[in-house]
Amino acid sequence: MKILVTGGAGFIGSNFVRYILEVHPDYEVVNLDLLTYAGNLENLADLEGRENYRFVRGDIADAGLLDGLFAEGVDGVVNFAAESHVDRSIEDPGHFLATNILGTQALLEAARRYRVNRFLQISTDEVYGSLAGEGAFTEESPLAPNSPYSASKASADLLCRAYWKTYDLPVVVTRCSNNYGPFQFPEKLIPLFITNALADEPLPVYGDGLYVRDWIYVRDHCSALDRVLHDGRPGEIYNVGADAERTNLEITQTILEKLDKDAGLVRHVKDRPGHDRRYAIDSSKIQTELGWRPETPFQDGMADTIDWYLRNEPWWQKIKSGEYREYYERMYRNR
């Protein structure tokens, strides 16, 4: 099987490329990524030179580029490419609409024209908005996005539905909860707090810190995507989560305890506008229908993640200093 993975130089995409080549060593992967600030080819440095892996730098909204790639033959598309940081979407929504909506539409269109067998759209539980009271989001919950980021992702989900209904393109959408694990860009909560705590710098907690997120270890998300890619029913949506609800303050305490740092590092800062209070995801559909289960308990995943950041300080120091951007030039300039 030949898969076009988009956004494969980002956090989840790079974990997925490595995962898919580990469990399906005979597959071919083309990784199309624009290398925005969030894309880092060092995430996949260990795959350089493998015959069945190729990196292409480019924009998912570039119809001409897509035409060339699809003409070479593509069996399946896995679309991770996105502007993904909520705070950045509040500062500048335009990029989010261009990539997350128009970029997804360009990819859908190419997939339709070249009749690919499977289009997997990686969406998010944030499309459901904020949960009031008990319970969890199911695939039937109404879409009620509250940030420009989640609104752009919800729009992409609806385009996917339209391409399935109108053109019979075999699209499947997954909506996953918050991921954590190796290679996450250190402006997101968990890696930001780990790396700041290691440097004895303040940990900026939004508002009262009682916002609840449902956390999943990134490898468990990858195994769910592998299941859906192969056996998900076209036109369906699958929620993915690991039943690990934690407040931001609980996450902060876990990190401080594991690193043996002082609670005095915590700084409560002004809240994010439109901040969703609680997300929780009901993933019984993927569990019942496709037999998928998350395998990593939260405590184990956090211990592994903290350990990974401790062992890979050069990786995140280069991001914090901006040096990671030179990697592409070094590796690909003369190719």
Ligand X SMILES: NC(=O)c1ccc[n+]([C@@H]2O[C@H](COP(=O)([O-])OP(=O)(O)OC[C@H]3O[C@@H](n4cnc5c(N)ncnc54)[C@H](O)[C@@H]3O)[C@@H](O)[C@H]2O)c1
Residues labelled as active-site residues: 125-126, 149
State the first-to-last Cα distance of the chain, in angstroms, to the nearest integer: 26
Considering the complex, what minimum distance in angstroms separates the CB of residue 268 from ligand X? 23
CB-nearer residue toward ligand X: 82 or 120:
82
Contacts with ligand X, residue ranges (CB under 6 A):
6-7, 9-13, 32-36, 38-39, 59-61, 80-84, 99, 103, 122, 124, 153, 176, 178-179, 185
For residue 98, what is the DSSP state? Answer: I
Closest CA to 141 of 127, 152, 121: 127
Q: How far is the CB of 267 from ligand X (least distance, A)?
A: 23
Closest CA to 207 of 178, 168, 248: 248
Point out the residue whose Cβ comes nearest to ligand X: 10
* Whole-Å CA distances, 182 to 120, 147, 197, 205: 23, 26, 17, 22
Closer to ligand X at the Cβ: 101 or 265? 101
For ligand X, the closer CB: 63 or 261: 63
Between 120 and 176, CB nearer to ligand X: 176
Task: Work out how close the CB of 199 gets to ligand X at its nearest, in angstroms, rounded to a whole number.
Answer: 22
Least separation, in Å, of the C-beta of 188 and ligand X? Answer: 7
CB atoms within 10 A of CB 163: 23
Residue 274 vs residues 66, 104, 148, 150, 270: alpha-carbon distances, Å: 35, 25, 10, 11, 12
Amino acid making up residue 175: R
Residue whose CB is less far from ligand X, 116 or 242: 242
The SS3 of residue 173 is strand
Closest alpha carbon to 175 in 219, 237, 227, 131:
237
Q: Is 133 left (phi over 0), alpha (psi -120 to 50) or beta?
A: left
Measured from the CB atom, is 8 or 170 closer to ligand X?
8
- Least Å distance, CB 152 to ligand X, is 9
Task: Find the length of the chain.
Answer: 335
Least distance in angstroms from the C-beta of 262 to ligand X: 28
CA distances 215 to 50, 125, 180, 192, 244, Å, are 32, 11, 7, 16, 5
Give the integer Cα–Cα distance in Å for 309 and 319.
Answer: 13
